[in-house]
Structure 1
């Protein structure tokens, strides 16, 4: 499986039928799990691509549990320096 630079799993965006209790969760559930709001969740998925997304065949967005758990683990274990470096890289990447 491909990984991001900061070692989070990368799962390709695609359409698929999602099982009801499978390895997926809605954007709202993921935001609640991470303790962030809707805007920040959208930034993690759309701008920084830290959380992997899939679309159901009904065109609804869902996120992978693996990427949400990896993000939660990174947030709890990363040092302040790592968090600042990640912020700097994201700002630099999105400004170009």
Structure 2
């Protein structure tokens, strides 16, 4: 069965260098901005890759892009309860 992702290029997930300016925030700031804990943010980062992760030039610190955090906030504000429950189910199955 063909899905909508079949024609997309297969690009492996990779950390990117930090964008210039204020286009990124720490994971703590992102969790605070979304109103969730860091454990929940880490689950979003690892299971769904909806929030884009970047690394500092030293490679020791990880951060997230502001645009992806804003997109997540928008989705949370507009998604129905059904879509939220479906996403939770999918994320749980991916984690197993």
TM-score range, shorter chain: 0.7 to 0.9
* Aligned alpha-carbon RMSD (Å): 1.8
Q: TM-score, normalized by length of structure 1?
A: 0.77
Asked whether the equivalents of residues 31 and 41 of structure 1 are also in contact (C-alpha less than 8 Å), the reply is: yes
The offset of 1:93, in angstroms, is: 2.2
Tell me the distance in 2 between the aligned counterparts of 1:31 and 1:52: 13
- Structural mapping, 1:11-26, within 5 Å: 13-19=14-20, 21-26=21-26
Structure 1 or 2, whichever has the larger Rg, is 2
The secondary structure found in structure 1 opposite 2:54 is strand
Q: Unaligned 5+ residue runs, structure 1?
A: 5-11
Q: Unaligned 5+ residue runs, structure 2?
A: 6-12
Q: How many residues align?
A: 84
Q: Which residue of 2 aligns with 1:92?
A: 93
Deviations for 1:28-72, whole angstroms, at most 9, x for unmatched residues? Answer: 110110001111111111222221101111121010111100000
Q: TM-score, normalized by length of structure 2?
A: 0.77
- Structural mapping, 1:1-96, within 5 Å: 13-19=14-20, 21-59=21-59, 60-95=61-96
